[in-house]
Amino acid sequence: MIEVVDGERCTSCDICVNVCPTNVFDKTDGIPVIARQGDCQTCFLCELYCPEDALYVSPFADQAQPIDIVALKQTDSMGSYRRAVGWTDETSDRRSVDRSYLLFGH
Amino acid sequence: MPNPTHRAERVSAPEGSVAFEADVLVIGGGPAGTWAAVSAAERGARVVLADKGFCGTSGATAAAGTGVWYIDPDPALREVAMANREKMGGYLQDRRWMTRVLDSTYQHSNRLADWGYPYPVDGRGTSQRNSLQGPEYMRMMRKRTKQAGVTILDHSPALELLVDDDGAVAGASGVRRQKQDRWTVRAKAVVLATGGCAFLSKTLGSNVLTGDGYLMAAEVGAEFSSMEFSNPYAISPAFGSVTKTLFYGWASFTYDDGSVVPGAASKGGRSAIARALLEGPVYARLDKADDDVRHHMRVSQPNFFLPFDRTGIDPFKDRFPVTLRLEGTVRGTGGLRIVDDSCATSVPGLYAAGDAATRELICGGFTGGGSHNAAWAMSSGAWAGQGAADYAAQVGPAAKRKLSSAGAVAFRSRPGRAFAPAALTRAVQAEVFPYELNYFREASRLQGALGRLDAAWRDVSEADAADRSEIVRAREAAAMLATARWMYRSALARQESRGMHRRDDFPDQDSRQRHYVTTGGLDEIWTSARPHAEASYAEAAE
Ligand SMILES: Cc1cc2nc3c(=O)[nH]c(=O)nc-3n(C[C@H](O)[C@H](O)[C@H](O)COP(=O)(O)OP(=O)(O)OC[C@H]3O[C@@H](n4cnc5c(N)ncnc54)[C@H](O)[C@@H]3O)c2cc1C
Ligand code: SF4
Ligand code: SF4
């Protein structure tokens, strides 16, 4: 489930509020809030669309998890999905590396 | 650029609501809905598309990505592609439809390439088009939908259909949940592309898929088909949501004590996993993947690895607990019955596409291993969009028609009890999640579940209208309840095992039941059998 909107990185662009399919966030005057965490479907798509790597979705789908943000930011987890699918400038060559055709029919 | 006169028109509406006039309203903005919207607009229709979530991220494809049934138009390859799934699907497919879908999928995939979808190129320089990355594909479909002149309403769940005096469907209304107001679209035809129903099981990307379109369609009298093929369960890490199963083809499955679960496999051995899970935890390890395969896996499905990377699990070396999450009609094959080549339903003015429609015509009773669903979503989407646009062109001026709202459950003010959506959802889940009820079916267990589900329906039918703040949840819960009842009623009617439908009391396939089960109704649910196309064509030829 979504656990973190990092106030240091977030620029309040509200993209996450728009793109979350299950309407988990609410707009505020400042950074969006996680208003309905229980509705999160753990799809990781808000992370993919956040231009600032300010979001973190924990992989635990059924339970909220306490997160140590300082420790989290020392790992490369935030933004890792965007980089992996080629949605950052530095990684855009990855958009066309899908090798599924070698794996189908196994 | 689209001609501005071909845009849907915003018309005046009472305070607290917005209203549009359109030729075609598409409900749902996954692959089926966006292909429908683009195709209707290309036919000159003024189109509105309303999505519960955000068109581009919402639905099963956006989050998961899909293999696609893309086969070069070489007759020998096509023959193999059709033949090798027929047994699995229980011989309920229809060759004519399979051929149409293969042709259409080929064309649409090639259009995606023209639009700039970044298909990978293999070592021989050939573009490979049998897989689509979900976020990339659906981001592009949103863009193309807008460019086609379609008005998109995001975060705008549809709640009920509008009908004219003759019972033809003529629009819908719902709420804009981020604006706290209502929307109404008067349209000459409606395409339901609301996806399947996965009962809020948290299978990847599917919590927006609660069968809403089925409920709305049933309220105007539409029929369903193949609803017994609604019990696929997908493997995921026990704690997670990523129900992508392809890579479990390289897994070994073990009990708590480390011994192998006999017969367990992702393909053709999933029921062994379900049976083992009834006894206790089951673990997987992808230890059959060599270094090359591991590399291909990482680059092909990055989200598969998120749950592992973020918990410090190495899925190739470490055992991790797995579970099976119900996917209902998302990777089942049941849905609204299609009555002609334009994906019309049995109700005038109403079309269905993607998972909202039955996929029996190309999948029969089984879709596991994917790719047919994605092919069906783009093909049926385009046909439904064109069909709806053509139908709309024949309907007279919309303004002359008197329309009424068709929604019943959760809308009617009653002196009775309050509507409690959360409790109802849990009650439905308790009947559809358990493997012993839904994976492994048997008459008395199905009847027990149906007794409880029917009682719950009587209960909510008498409940008071849902509170404004809870109306979406209430309609979702009612839709899941209705879906469960069509599923189990159809499952009782099919007294054999075929496709994904497994009856403990009828373990074999029965050649006399090579037919489709049709179902419908809300207060009273009925079922009937329809002959398989081959049989009916044979009759017609006589
Ligand atoms: C994990 C996973 C993996 C899969 N892998 C494959 C695969 O490899 N190959 C394959 O062929 N298929 C696969 N499938 C199935 C495939 O994703 C679906 O068949 C496909 O997404 C169907 O497209 P659709 O447009 O009908 O529905 P969806 O993509 O689910 O979209 C439905 C849309 O309708 C909207 N909606 C729902 N209710 C309402 C409402 N009341 N009002 C307005 N909008 C509404 C939703 O928000 C959503 O945007 C997979 C499914 C899952 C869950
Ligand atoms: S998308 Fe990222 S930067 Fe924008 S508001 Fe959300 S968290 Fe902040
Ligand atoms: S993970 Fe998905 S459902 Fe959860 S907050 Fe992000 S976008 Fe929304």
Average pLDDT estimate for A80-98 = 96
Q: A16 is in which domain, residue-wise?
A: 2-87
Nearest to B487 by CA among B414, B419, B437, B537: B437
The residues facing A4 across adjacent strands are: A56
CATH number belonging to domain B233-326: 3.90.700.10
Return the CATH number at A49.
3.30.70.20
CATH topology of domain B410-509: Methane Monooxygenase Hydroxylase; Chain G, domain 1 (1.20.58)
CA of B152 relative to ligand 1 center, distance in Å = 18
B461 conformational bin, left if phi > 0, alpha if psi -120 to 50, beta if neither: alpha
Whole-number pLDDT of residue B292: 96
Tokens encoding B342: 């334009």
Number of C-beta neighbours around residue B216 at 10 A: 27
Average pLDDT over chain B, rounded to whole? 95
Task: Assess whether pLDDT exceeds 60 at residue B171.
Answer: yes
Pick one of 3.50.50.60, 2.40.50.140, 1.10.10.1100, 3.40.50.720 as the CATH number of B4-230+329-402.
Answer: 3.50.50.60
Rounded Cα distance between B24 and B36, Å, is 10
Tokens encoding B322: 């797995």
Average pLDDT estimate for B7-25 = 95
Rounded Cα distance between B201 and B199, Å, is 5
Whole-number pLDDT of residue B5: 57
Q: Which residues contact B305 (CB under 8 A, 6 or more apart)?
A: A84, B297, B298, B315
A44 ligand 3 Cβ < 6 A: yes
Number of C-beta neighbours around residue B34 at 10 A: 36
Note whether A61 contacts B241, CB cutoff 8 Å. yes
Listed in order, the ranges of chain B carrying CATH 1.20.58.100 are 410-509
Q: Find the residue in B nearest to A98 (Cα).
A: B300
Tokens encoding B218: 């049933």
Note whether B300 contacts A103, CB cutoff 8 Å. yes
Nearest to B534 by CA among B93, B87, B75: B93
CB B475 within 8 A of CB B406: no
In chain B, the percentage of residues whose pLDDT exceeds 70 is 97
Q: What distance in Å separates residue B55's CA from the closest CA in chain A? A: 8
- Domain assignment of residue A97, yes or no: no
- Domain assignment of residue A96, yes or no: no
Average pLDDT estimate for B262-271 = 93
0.90 exceeded by pTM? yes
A20 ligand 3 Cβ < 6 A: yes
Of B134-138, B394-398, B449-453, where does mean pLDDT reach its minimum?
Answer: B394-398
What domain count does chain A have?
Answer: 1
CA of B370 relative to ligand 1 center, distance in Å = 12
Whole-number pLDDT of residue B399: 65
- Domain assignment of residue A70, yes or no: yes
- Domain assignment of residue A94, yes or no: no
Note the pLDDT tens digit of each residue in B273-311: 999 999 999 999 999 999 999 999 999 999 999 999 999
- Domain assignment of residue A22, yes or no: yes
Task: Assess whether pLDDT exceeds 50 at residue B18.
Answer: yes
CA of A47 relative to ligand 2 center, distance in Å = 9
Nearest to B108 by CA among B140, B77, B86, B81: B140
Nearest Cα residue to atom 6 of ligand 2: A16
Rounded Cα distance between B440 and B258, Å, is 26
Number of C-beta neighbours around residue B360 at 10 A: 27
Note whether A19 contacts B120, CB cutoff 8 Å. no
- Domain assignment of residue A93, yes or no: no
3-state DSSP call for residue B56?
coil
Q: Which residues contact B21 (CB under 8 A, 6 or more apart)?
A: B8, B9, B11, B46, B185, B186, B187, B398
A50 ligand 2 Cβ < 6 A: yes
Q: What distance in Å separates residue B203's CA from the closest CA in chain A? A: 8
Average pLDDT estimate for B97-116 = 97
Note the pLDDT tens digit of each residue in B27-55: 999 999 999 999 999 999 999 999 999 99
A17 ligand 3 Cβ < 6 A: no
- Domain assignment of residue A11, yes or no: yes
Whole-number pLDDT of residue B143: 98
Task: Assess whether pLDDT exceeds 70 at residue B182.
Answer: yes
Q: Find the residue in B nearest to A92 (Cα).
A: B118
Note the pLDDT tens digit of each residue in B368-403: 666 999 999 999 999 999 999 999 999 977 667 899
> CA-based Rg of chain A, rounded to a whole angstrom?
15
